[in-house]
Amino acid sequence: MTSGRDRRLLLAAMLASVVRPAWADTDLAWGLPELMAGLARVKSGSAQFVERHYLQVTTQPLVSTGVLRYAAPDRLEKQTLAPQPGRLSIEGDRLLVEQAGSPGRSLSLREVPEISALVDGLRATMAGDLATLNRVYTLALRGGAADWQLDLVPRERRMLALVSGIRITGSFDLLRRIDTYQPDGDHSDMTITPDPS
């Protein structure tokens, strides 16, 4: 079964592959604006994720798996399937948290600025929203169009106390992996596998 959303994702990937040579030939011409423009072209998509949290308070990494869904311009959903089902979604300014065994909680993003900045960073990257990213983080881009790394360092002190940096690794307009580093040495990584069409 191929959903319309997946088809659009595929289309975007194909479109990206058509444009690729131009970037590959002149890497100088490729930068943040081009990356963002490419990401902005992806209007929707879904992907499987595996997330590992390496924490000092636990004896082993906490692994969770689930599905990421994105729909332009501002809807992002992170559905955790294991070990405990749960769902966190943002749309516009609303953050909806559903955890197994407790009623859903709908919050305004501004009620939890630390979380919102984290999730918003991911959403803004997917949306190719350079203005939002620039407002919340200092950005550093490395690599080329086919294999890029975008480092996000929070601007706000309060958030910096919780997250020292986020590294998003991708290829063309697909996100592959997200590493999150915390000041105390804990970190987490999330590998993303776009759904096959």
Binding residues for other proteins, rule: CB under 8 A, are 51, 53, 55-60, 62-64, 78, 80, 83-84, 86, 88, 99-100, 108, 110-111, 113-115, 118-119, 155-158, 162-163, 182, 184, 186, 188
142 or 158, CB closer to other proteins?
158
CB of 43 to other proteins, least distance (A): 24
28 or 57, CB closer to other proteins?
57
Find out whether 153 and 164 touch, Cβ atoms under 8 Å.
yes
CB of 159 to other proteins, least distance (A): 9
CB of 44 to other proteins, least distance (A): 21
CB of 60 to other proteins, least distance (A): 5
Find out whether 88 and 95 touch, Cβ atoms under 8 Å.
yes
Residue 162: helix, strand or coil by DSSP?
coil
58 or 197, CB closer to other proteins?
58
Find out whether 122 and 115 touch, Cβ atoms under 8 Å.
no
CA geometry: angle at 170 spanning 168 and 172, to 5°? Answer: 140
Residue 49: C-alpha distances to residues 18, 87, 127 (Å): 27, 13, 18
CB of 152 to other proteins, least distance (A): 15
35 or 117, CB closer to other proteins?
117
Q: CA–CA separation, 75 vs 82, rounded Å?
A: 22
7 or 155, CB closer to other proteins?
155
Residue 197: C-alpha distances to residues 4, 10, 69, 156 (Å): 10, 7, 14, 39
Q: CA–CA separation, 5 vs 9, rounded Å?
A: 6
